[in-house]
Chains A and B, each alone.
Chain A
Amino acid sequence: MVTGSWLNSGVRRGTVVPVRHPVATLWHVPVESVYPRLEPLLPHVSKPVQYVGGEPNATVKDWDETTVRWCLMYPDAYEVGLPNQGVMILYEILNEQPGVLAERTYAVWPDMEELMRRHGVPQFTVDAHRPVAAFDVLGVSFATELGYTNLLTALDLAGVPLRSRERTDEHPVVLAGGHAAFNPEPVADFVDAVVLGDGERAVLEITELVRRFKAEGRPGGRERLLRRLAEHGVYVPGFHEVTYRPDGHIERVRPTREGVPHRVFKRTTTDLDEWPYPKQPLVPVAESVHERMSVEIFRGCTRGCRFCQAGMITRPVRERSKRGVEDMVRRGLEATGFEEVGLLSLSSADHSEIGEITKGLADRYEGTNTGLSLPSTRVDAFNVDLANELARNGRRSGLTFAPEGGSERIRRVINKTVSERDLIRTVSTAYASGWRQVKLYFMCGLPTETDEDVLRIATMAKEVVRAGRSASGRRDIRCTVSIGGFVPKPHTPFQWAAQADPDTVDARMRALREEIGSDRELGRRIGVRYHDGKPSLIEGLLSRGDRRVGRVIERVWREGGRFDGWNEYFSYERWVRAAAEVLPPLGVDMDWFTTRERTRDEVLPWDHLDSGLDREWLWNDWQDALQAREQEDCRWTPCFDCGVCPTTGTDIEMGPSGRPLLPITPVRDGSPVPNTAFDTPSGDR
């Protein structure tokens, strides 16, 4: 056992919230479970099962038999956080390591928060209900910026100081990751360290650094550990100083410690077949937003949609082999019993072997009541073939396509190359093969967008219904149009763009609605779903904000801001008010961060964080966008020098995988899992 107080060796009772009545120990419990204090609160909160853990494939390890302890957090409600692949993958990778323990925590709803505060129950993990403050590392996965206020709630409930610089050797290292962490500056004051990119190897490296540090007796305390992390390519915002010019622009960002690199590079996991995680996906007891098992069939995307941060920061494309996908599906179904498998990626139909994969899986699981789905499909007749293959066992409810822009011009601006003729042909095929509903995704507020670009969505939707009627010979054809407000994101060609103000976005959406409704007959067959533009503006503030925005986040949180991704909790007024109070004294305001177009030479808050994309290439792509010039995909055309492969030392990894296609034996017995225990001698199989 190592000694010293840093990073919580053994028992640290009472530092966060005094333990009211020690539990009779039936066995040795070094860090006490808060469950006895939590349980009496559970009957008084909504959906209590989300706080009890015990899900199939969850892991509980003995505290004392481990030396490095991670608490992984998804800063949203359990029902959203549990299915998150990032957390699930890291949870399993860490727990597979001897001497390492990982548990999970999620944002608690305000009803629970209130009771926890009243009864002195700290933020806990759902696995063994251990207090979050007792862990070595609190890893927080930010898929979106709207979880920032929930991080503050969790830290506060855990008894961990909100600000990094106020933490002592007693507290966990707060480590951020996920896509939003590619610009962590707005939360730079609240997190200790940030990992950019894929986490698989990074968490193991960090684990090793923490293990060694603890074994050495924690020389130099917290500061020294953070130094070691920084020296190993982890971004420690506290070691970078940001200075501002009198006009409010960033002057420069530079490291303040020797040995801390100026630039921080993203991590890239290569050879996905070596990382078949999650092998044992968690199966929630509570209802969650994705009632299915996900198998990531490839990572990265080079379609080059200019609005898409995920497509930019996850390059290059790395495919999982056909065999690898099949194995993960088989093992995952055996481990979970899920009724549906989603073949996950940023554009699943683009897998070079997708046809064989879907056919193989559909054959294998026919008759087992196992659904297969391909989220994120592009507008392409090939996708309809795939969908037909997947829907062979019945279910033929709706197909989703994402043209994203209403007019051909705006689609060229965003580099979402699809012609209206392609779209009509695609949906016609879909309706002709028995699909009754098509859902179309669009964005509003795109750079260079005019009212006409948006109104064009109405024309397209009507045309879709007409084409569907003639292709299927039926009148009960439906088309749903779903529109979201565009938010410019860091590390994309649109990082310099002015975000459209909410009034413009709302006016265009209203006009579109009227335009669709103007045709009474067709209009009735078209559903329109849209969100107002206000939440997008706040998302924009948080996406492209710098460290000064952190004060807005804290102010909003102190005034009760929680669960900003949820309409019933999000308050636009609260954000606007906080921004108006906090930012002007610093020489900036809400508009400065959102609706202002950036210049080429401006230092962007995330410029020192390297996603591999060449800044010059991004700028040229932005210029191409303004000229409505398209960019090809480097998977099937020559490299266009975006910079990622040379910077990250990687290359495109795609099929054919060259491995022989193994014959897949159909399962067919009601269940996707063959169990020989049920094979009776007189069996009728």
Chain B
Amino acid sequence: MYPGLRPVGRPRRSTTEETLSQYQPATVTGWKVRLRYTKRDRLRFASHRDLTRVFERALRRAGVPLAYSRGYSPHPRISWAGTAPTGVASEAEYAELRLEREVPVETLRNELRAALPEGLDVAEAVPAGAGSLEERLLASRWWLELDGVAPGETSEALCRLLSRDSVEVERVTRKGRRVLDVRAAVVSADSVDPTEYGVHLDAVRDRHSVDAPHTDDCPDRARQYGIIVMVVRHTTPVVRPDDVLNALRVVADLPVPGVARATRLAQGRLDEGGAIADPLAQDRAAAGSRQVGSTLG
């Protein structure tokens, strides 16, 4: 249906575009902007293909002058950086759009936000600076909810996982059965007290407005949740929250639900302290200096 879309996780386009983008010319090659967007609530059940469709249509509804590829079957010039799996929510998904011309980023963000369905939101829009965005997305911080598991059990299981050198789990991918070393990918993992994060939970889950009351998505406060916050390196194939859950099953006899309720909180490079660096910081800095430059000029 969308033959032009790049399968997630493959190496990206040629470097020519990258070189051009450093100068941000408002010429035929267009103008690139990078987005951080969120995938929340019910839309976490959308697949990557679903999201690309929703995004493309929202861009058209918003009247964004999106650039299209040339040729027999033109497709919009959007690059998707490794996207969260179906069923997983995210506060930090990234995409790069190529437009036909430069537009004010705040206008772009606002118009696109208004056009996107509830659950999808553009958190940031920054003109693309030099360098590849995808190369900066090397690890994720995850929020994992274990429905019905006590916090004590959760931290016990995590201790066991972290004390091992290697914990292998199997996953069936499109290429067949693959064995993943979960332990090798996990940089850090902590069991956290849900009450401490109560405010955060609401921020992640709820985006209800008063004028459009939704009867859905009410978090159930009465239940017990084991909550894990963890940093996982992006390996090939990528270790998903479900793989971590399976690893916990391997190391501990944890009565965990079949599928975790997971949210990606951040993506970026790992700094030395094991924290995740904002992948758009460079672009933001470059855009700022250009702005200063043009004001001075």
**Is residue B255 within 8 Å, beta carbon to beta carbon, of the partner chain?**
no
Residues of B within 8 A of A47 (CB): 47
Q: CA A56 – CA B45 in complex, angstroms? A: 16
Please tell me which one of the listed residues A26, A286, A674 contacts residue B50 in the complex, with CB atoms under 8 A apart. A286
Q: CA A43 – CA B261 in complex, angstroms? A: 9
Contact B1 A287 (CB under 8 A): yes
Q: CA A36 – CA B49 in complex, angstroms? A: 25
Q: CA A670 – CA B62 in complex, angstroms? A: 11
Contact B258 A44 (CB under 8 A): yes
Please tell me which one of the listed residues A54, A286, A336, A675 contacts residue B118 in the complex, with CB atoms under 8 A apart. A54
Contact B117 A43 (CB under 8 A): no
Contacts A27-B213, A291-B1, A680-B103; A337 near B115 (Cβ below 8 A): yes
Contact A670 B65 (CB under 8 A): yes
Contacts A54-B119, A128-B215, A369-B68; A339 near B60 (Cβ below 8 A): yes
Residues of A within 8 A of B45 (CB): 42, 48-49, 51-52
Contact B49 A24 (CB under 8 A): no
Please tell me which one of the listed residues B42, B68, B102 contacts residue A54 in the complex, with CB atoms under 8 A apart. B42
Q: CA A286 – CA B41 in complex, angstroms? A: 15
Residues of A within 8 A of B181 (CB): none
Interface centre among B67, B108, B213, B216 (most CB of A within 10 A): B216
**Is residue A129 within 8 Å, beta carbon to beta carbon, of the partner chain?**
yes
Q: Interface 1/0s, chain B 200-243, versus A by CB < 8 A?
A: 00000000100011111110111000000000000000000000
Interface size class of A (residues with CB under 8 A): 35 or more
Contact B54 A285 (CB under 8 A): yes
* A window 20-64: CB within 8 A of B: 21, 23-27, 29, 32-33, 35-36, 40, 42-44, 47-49, 51-56, 60, 62
Please tell me which one of the listed residues A24, A51, A683 contacts residue B218 in the complex, with CB atoms under 8 A apart. A24
Contact A670 B66 (CB under 8 A): yes
**Is residue B147 within 8 Å, beta carbon to beta carbon, of the partner chain?**
yes
**Is residue A663 within 8 Å, beta carbon to beta carbon, of the partner chain?**
no
Contact A674 B63 (CB under 8 A): yes
Residues of B within 8 A of A42 (CB): 45, 87
Residues of A within 8 A of B118 (CB): 54
Q: Interface 1/0s, chain A 62-73, versus B by CB < 8 A?
A: 100000000000
Contacts A24-B221, A48-B87; A56 near B117 (Cβ below 8 A): yes
**Is residue A600 within 8 Å, beta carbon to beta carbon, of the partner chain?**
no
Residues of B within 8 A of A336 (CB): 57, 61
Number of interface residues of B (CB under 8 A): 61
Contacts A48-B87, A54-B119, A128-B216; A337 near B58 (Cβ below 8 A): yes
Contacts A24-B221, A55-B117; A669 near B54 (Cβ below 8 A): no
Contact A675 B42 (CB under 8 A): no
Residues of B within 8 A of A672 (CB): 60
Q: CA A333 – CA B216 in complex, angstroms? A: 29
Q: CA A460 – CA B1 in complex, angstroms? A: 31
Contact A337 B59 (CB under 8 A): yes
Please tell me which one of the listed residues B74, B111, B217 contacts residue A35 in the complex, with CB atoms under 8 A apart. B217
Which residue of chain B lies nearest to A396 when distances are taken between CB atoms in the complex? B72
* A window 249-301: CB within 8 A of B: 283, 285-287, 291
Which residue of chain A lies nearest to B77 when distances are taken between CB atoms in the complex? A670
Contacts A40-B147, A49-B46, A60-B212; A23 near B115 (Cβ below 8 A): no
Contact A53 B72 (CB under 8 A): no
**Is residue A310 within 8 Å, beta carbon to beta carbon, of the partner chain?**
no
Contacts A54-B119, A128-B216, A394-B72; A671 near B57 (Cβ below 8 A): no
Closest Cβ of chain B to A129, distance in Å, is: 6
Interface residues of chain B: helix, strand, loop or mixed (majority): loop
Contact A673 B60 (CB under 8 A): yes
* A window 392-411: CB within 8 A of B: 394-395
Contacts A44-B259, A54-B43; A675 near B62 (Cβ below 8 A): yes
**Is residue A130 within 8 Å, beta carbon to beta carbon, of the partner chain?**
yes
* A window 355-385: CB within 8 A of B: 369
Please tell me which one of the listed residues B43, B53, B54, B66 contacts residue A671 in the complex, with CB atoms under 8 A apart. B66
Q: CA A40 – CA B103 in complex, angstroms? A: 42
Contact B50 A36 (CB under 8 A): no
Q: CA A21 – CA B220 in complex, angstroms? A: 9
* B window 67-98: CB within 8 A of A: 67-68, 71-74, 76, 86-87
**Is residue B166 within 8 Å, beta carbon to beta carbon, of the partner chain?**
no
**Is residue A522 within 8 Å, beta carbon to beta carbon, of the partner chain?**
no
Q: CA A683 – CA B62 in complex, angstroms? A: 17
Residues of A within 8 A of B258 (CB): 43-44
Residues of B within 8 A of A640 (CB): none
Residues of B within 8 A of A29 (CB): 215
Closest Cβ of chain B to A109, distance in Å, is: 14
Closest Cβ of chain B to A464, distance in Å, is: 24
Contact B218 A23 (CB under 8 A): yes
Contact B57 A56 (CB under 8 A): yes
Residues of B within 8 A of A27 (CB): 213
Q: Interface 1/0s, chain B 28-64, versus A by CB < 8 A?
A: 0000000000000111011101100110111111111
* B window 109-134: CB within 8 A of A: 110-111, 115, 117-119
Contacts A285-B46, A671-B65; A337 near B216 (Cβ below 8 A): no
Q: CA A29 – CA B215 in complex, angstroms? A: 7
Residues of B within 8 A of A601 (CB): none
Contact B68 A678 (CB under 8 A): no
Seed contacts A32-B215, A670-B68; 18 additional CB < 8 Å A-B pairs: A24-B222, A35-B42, A40-B147, A43-B259, A44-B258, A49-B47, A51-B45, A129-B216, A285-B43, A285-B53, A285-B117, A286-B46, A333-B60, A336-B61, A337-B60, A338-B60, A369-B76, A669-B100
Show 6 A/B contacts (Cβ-Cβ < 8 Å), sorted by A.
A21-B220, A33-B216, A40-B147, A51-B45, A285-B46, A287-B1
Binding site for B on A (CB under 8 A): 21, 23-27, 29, 32-33, 35-36, 40, 42-44, 47-49, 51-56, 60, 62, 128-130, 283, 285-287, 291, 333-339, 369, 394-395, 669-675, 677-678, 680, 683-684
**Cβ-closest 8 pairs across A and B:** A675-B63, A337-B57, A337-B60, A43-B259, A33-B215, A337-B61, A52-B42, A35-B216
